[in-house]
Amino acid sequence: MKTNNPFLLIVLLIFTLACSVSGVGITEPPDFLPISATAPASTTVPTFTPIPTLTPAAPTNPPPTPMLSQTVSMQSTPFNESSAAPVYTITAQIPNLQGSSDPRVTNFNSLLNQIVHDQIDQFRSDTLAFASNPPIAAGSSFDVQYSILGQRGDVWSIKFDISYYADGAAHPGHYSTTLTYDLSNGSEIHLDQLFFPGSPYLQVISDNCKAQLAARDIAFDMFSSGADPLPENYQRWNISNEGLVITFDEYQVAAYAAGPQIVTIPFSELQGTINPQSAAGLFVQ
């Protein structure tokens, strides 16, 4: 049958074209993609830069402060004096420490100088004041020498030996004086400071000295009172590596001809009385 309705023809044509277009090239996407087929998103991995750690230097102990005596050395200053009227000569070696301006060193040197000059002044007043002019013989003389009997740490133990001659005398004379000094605290050390308080140290010293002197051919029995346990008998002493050194001047424990007598008491003989915390402790082996 032949239709004459153009509108209906147009609708049929549009419907046919729409169906043909929808059936060509249409592909249903899959519900999922395998993990291996899925490209990961581009990710920038952060780079870790460690912060340097400062390791503190190992602590270093400062070097120990040297003892004062390690910074100095003992030297001698000569002293000379002479005169023609009256005729006399005076010679001396004065010890002094060099190498430090520490006040303790200065004070020690002043004391050493004073000891020597005190002896010289005594010679002037006791001998030269009565010297004959013109001289009877060759004139008078006086000499001071010293020796360091012990030095440990800041402890110095010095002995001064004095010889003298008075114009016209039968023979010269000799005597000594001593000084034991703690440089660290700037003070002289006295004999009793080496021992425990209240200990019979003088008796122990006296017993040892008498035992040694009695064994010598010096007629000690006639002079034994010079070694009795009295402070005045033990004014001349020193500390040495060998022990406590006691000096007896001429006539104290023997006749002039026997000369001065020196007794060294080993520290082992002083056990129980000597204080190891004292200056002597530096010398005790």
pLDDT digits (tens, 9 = 90+) for 186-219: 999 999 999 999 999 999 999 999 999 999 999 9
Q: How far is CA 232 from each of CA 80, 219, 226, 273, rounded to the nearest angstrom? A: 32, 21, 9, 20
Cβ-contact 246, 228 below 8 angstroms = no
For 139-194, what is each residue's pLDDT tens digit?
999 999 999 999 999 999 999 999 999 999 999 999 999 999 999 999 999 999 99
Task: Give Cα separations from 181 to 44, 259, 274, 279 (angstroms).
Answer: 82, 27, 17, 9
Question: What average pLDDT does this structure show over 51-55?
Answer: 63
| Rg of the chain over all Cα atoms, to the nearest angstrom | 52
**Cis bond before residue 134 (omega within 30° of 0):** yes
Confidence of residue 15 (pLDDT cuts 50, 70, 90): low
pLDDT band of residue 55 (cuts 50, 70, 90) is low
Q: How far, in Å, CA of 196 to CA of 76, rounded?
A: 35
**Distance of alpha carbon 259 from its chain centroid, rounded?**
38
* Amino acid letter, 270: L
What sign does the dihedral 132-94-182-208 (CA atoms) show? negative
**Residue 105 burial (C-beta neighbours within 10 Å; 0-12, 13-18, 19+):** buried
Domains and CATH numbers, the chain: 70-189 (3.30.565.40), 191-285 (3.90.640.20)
Whole-number pLDDT of residue 44: 58
Q: Is the pLDDT of residue 24 over 90?
A: no
Q: How far apart are CA 281 and CA 180, in angstroms?
A: 14
Q: Considering the chain, what percentage of its residues have pLDDT values greater than 90?
A: 72
Contact 159, 129 (CB under 8 A): no
Retrieve residue 160's tokens.
């001064």
What residues does 92 pair with on adjacent strands? Answer: 79, 144
What is the token pair recorded at 198? Answer: 């209240």
pLDDT digits (tens, 9 = 90+) for 58-84: 667 777 788 999 999 999 999 999 999
Task: Based on DSSP, count helices (H) and strands (E) in the chain, helices before strands.
Answer: 3, 9
Whether 112 contacts 94, CB under 8 Å: yes
| Cα–Cα distance measured from residue 271 to residue 274, given in angstroms and rounded to the nearest whole number | 6
